Every structure is written in C-alpha cells, then in structure tokens.
Amino acid sequence: MENYPIRTKNAADRFLILLKTRGPLSAAELAAELGITSEGARLQLLKLAEEGLLQSESISRGVGRPVQIWSLTPLGNARFPDTHTELTVDIIQTIKTVLGQEALDNVIKAREKNQQEKYHNALAGITGIENRLEAFASIRTGEGYLAEWRKEDDIFLFIENHCPICCAAAHCDNICTSEMNTFISIIGEDVHVDRLDHIINGARRCVYKIKPATVTV
C-alpha cells in the first residue's frame, strides 16, 4: 500500500526515493522497480555515487557471485529535508533556557492537541482501519514522511520511511511520545499500537505495529 508514487521525471530523485523507501537494493532490483534496463540503472547509480549520494557494498546471497548492493550515504539522506531544522532546534533550546522544561512540555502538548484536531478533521467520515490508514498515510506523505501501510495476516504495519522533524525530535524526547499519542488517537481505540523501529534509535525508518484488540498474537 504505497503512498509515495515515484512520478518525478528526475531520474536521480527516482533512484533516491526508491532506496529511501525500500532500503538497500541491487542494480537489477532497482531496474525492475523503475522499468529500465540493468545497464541504465548501473550508469545512474555510478553517477550518483560520484556525487556522493550513494554507496555500495558486495554481499553474498548464497550460491554464486556476491551481489553489489546500493544504499544512501548521509549526503543522500540529506536530500530528504528535515523541516526548518536550525530554526526548530534553536526555538526548542531557547524555550528550555528561558522558560524551562515545563514550558516546553506545555508547548509539545499544545502541538499534539492541534495535530490531533487537524488529522481528525481530515479523516472525518472515514471508517474502517484500512481506509483510515490509507488516508492517514497520504496525509503524512504530503508532510514529508514517505508513509505507507501494509497488512500481514491480522496485523497492520504503518511505515514512515522519512522523518522531516527528526532533528527536532532528537533534541526533545517528548516529540516522539506526542507523535505516538497522536497516532493512537487517529487509528482508533480498538487497537493496540507498538513502535517496532525508530529512526531516532538508529533504524532506517519508523515502523508501527497495529493490532486490533480482538486479535491475539
């Protein structure tokens, strides 16, 4: 259930987005995903590597020759913006210094309330967990999170391949807690939500496991 279709005409961006959302891939896998030749994919990968946006490593996948796998470098990841990074971090530090931690906590709570109201209004009238996940993923993708969802048996996974507020969250733990509270509020009361992967803790993406209350795992 992908909510970030790769429609851009820019070849470089198509490669970067695919590697950002799917993780490390071989030239053949990228070519198949993008509908181009393997040779065309290799040429583009080499060009992006020369620009410092990609890196590669050879890994063994069982019998046969090692496979060259491509992934984003820190510079490549920087192509996906962290919204107003310096200003946001500066504001957080200023509130802490001038007004104290309690004031910062109150600001985060107020943001959480505003976020929940915005999302609830946008999802008004949309029922069913799959429909709400689809709509919410579309909204979050529009905000820069490159969101998608999928169903595995009776469990749902909600995936955010990028965090545009990562730097701010790294300087304020309450932001991630607030995001989790908002997510639970949006998905519904009859579910259990656990965060499996967390960008702040070094993961490539944030992954939430959503389990309907009636499901036993």
- Supply the range of the domain harboring residue 192: 85-212
The last residue of one of the domains, among 77, 106, 122, is 77
pLDDT tens-place string over residues 69-112: 999 988 888 788 666 677 788 888 899 899 999 999 999 999 99
pLDDT higher than 70, residue 207? yes
Domain boundary among 58, 77, 96: 77
Residue 177 lies in a domain: yes
**pLDDT higher than 90, residue 214:** no
Average pLDDT over residues 50-58: 91
| Residues 24, 109 within the same domain | no
Same-domain status, 103 and 206: yes
pLDDT tens digits, residue range 111-124? 999 999 999 999 99
* pLDDT range class, residue 167, cuts 50, 70, 90: confident
Task: State the pTM of this model.
Answer: 0.71
Q: What CA–CA distances, in Å, run from 70 to 24, 41, 100, 182?
A: 5, 11, 45, 35
Do 74 and 166 meet the contact criterion of CB atoms below 8 Å apart?
A: no
- Say whether pLDDT at 5 is over 60: no
